């Protein structure tokens, strides 16, 4: 079983739609959590951190459920520019912090 | 903006040749990661260093891959001998502690 699992998609949604991605992690020792975004043929870049209390950044909302070992990302009012792969990321404390990436969920937003 | 620099950007080589990829982490970052990305596997963690010491290289095929940090400004990933299945994009990323990682632009390797 992979340490971080995501639905690979693709998710095809029209502009203006609300879309949600989920991610589960297997190691209960996971310490911190993030969502990264990766555009085609580019490097991953941080989208937002994920906190137990939930956090919002404009149209993006991230949630963490430690009991269920589950992370989510909600995108409201989707834009064409949101088309990308969204990577769920977990930091494990193992001597130093070991950063594990999910395989990503691909999103296509259509006009 | 501070950035992670990777070389080469693109490398085409023949099976059996040695390949060395280099990474210059952001000054002051004490953690360096090497990842490999393919369509089938996504981002796989190969190795990571903290304060130049290797902490975990369990994701790396030991017989042909090696990763080192000869100094704080340089991390290397070497494949010898290379095989077609090594074809992928190799990313280096640096960070501090549990903070976010900054990625380099990647080295695209094609082994014929």
Q: Residue A65 and residue A51: Cα distance in Å, rounded?
A: 9
- State how far residue B33 is from chain A, nearest Cα, in angstroms: 8
Q: Does residue A50 register a pLDDT over 80?
A: yes
pLDDT digits (tens, 9 = 90+) for A89-110: 998 877 667 889 999 999 999 9
Task: State the pLDDT confidence band at B110, using cuts at 50, 70 and 90.
Answer: very high
- State how far residue B91 is from chain A, nearest Cα, in angstroms: 8
CB atoms within 10 A of CB B74: 14
User: Which chain A residue has its CA at the smallest distance from B92's CA?
Assistant: A43
Q: DSSP states of B19-62 as a string?
A: EEEEEEPPTT--EEEEEEEETTTEEEEEEEEETTEEEE-TTS-T
Task: State the pLDDT confidence band at A2, using cuts at 50, 70 and 90.
Answer: confident
Among B5, B18, B1, which residue's Cα sits nearest to residue B92? B5
Pick the more confident residue, B1 or A6.
Answer: A6
Mean pLDDT of chain A: 93
pLDDT digits (tens, 9 = 90+) for B57-104: 888 988 999 999 999 999 999 999 999 999 999 999 999 866 789 999
List of residues 6+ apart from B108 with CB closer than 8 A: B9, B10, B11, B89
B31 neighbourhood in chain A, CB within 8 Å:
96-97
Is-contact A49 A33, C-beta < 8 A? yes
Q: CB-CB: which of B43, B98, B106 is closest to A87?
A: B43
pLDDT digits (tens, 9 = 90+) for B43-66: 999 999 999 999 888 889 889 999
The per-residue pLDDT for B98 is: 65
B36-66: b (≥16 Cβ within 10 Å) or e: bbeeeebbbbbbbbbeeeebbbebbeeeebb
pLDDT digits (tens, 9 = 90+) for B21-42: 999 999 999 999 999 999 888 8
Tokens of A19: 């879309």
The per-residue pLDDT for A95 is: 66
For A20, the enclosing helix (H) or strand (E) is strand A19-25
Q: Does residue B1 register a pLDDT over 80?
A: no
Among A40, A44, A4, A7, which residue's Cα sits nearest to residue A22? A7
Q: Does residue A62 register a pLDDT over 80?
A: yes
Using the beta-carbon criterion (under 8 Å), do B55 and A98 form an inter-chain contact? yes
Mean pLDDT value of segment A43-65: 94
- State how far residue B53 is from chain A, nearest Cα, in angstroms: 10
């Amino acid at each position: 079983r992979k340490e971080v699992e995501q639905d690979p998609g693709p998710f095809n949604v029209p502009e203006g739609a609300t879309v949600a991605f989920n991610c589960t992690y297997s190691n209960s020792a996971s310490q911190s959590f993030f969502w990264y975004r990766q555009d085609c043929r580019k490097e991953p870049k941080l989208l937002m951190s994920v906190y137990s209390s939930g956090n919002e950044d404009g149209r993006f909302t991230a949630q963490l459920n430690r009991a269920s070992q589950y992370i989510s990302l909600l995108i409201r009012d989707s834009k064409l520019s949101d088309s990308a792969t969204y990577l769920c990321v977990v930091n494990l404390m193992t001597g130093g912090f070991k950063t594990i990436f999910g395989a990503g969920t691909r999103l296509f937003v259509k006009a | 903006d501070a950035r992670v620099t990777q070389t080469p950007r693109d490398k085409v080589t023949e099976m059996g040749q040695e390949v060395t990829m280099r990474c210059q982490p952001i000054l002051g970052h004490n953690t360096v990661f090497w990842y490999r990305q393919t369509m089938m596997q996504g981002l796989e963690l190969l190795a990571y260093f903290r304060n130049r010491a290797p902490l975990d290289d369990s994701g790396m095929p030991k017989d042909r891959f090696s990763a080192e940090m000869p100094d704080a400004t340089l991390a290397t990933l070497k494949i010898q001998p290379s095989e077609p299945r090594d074809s992928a994009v190799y990313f280096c990323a640096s960070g501090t502690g549990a903070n976010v990682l900054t990625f380099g632009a990647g080295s695209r390797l094609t082994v014929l």
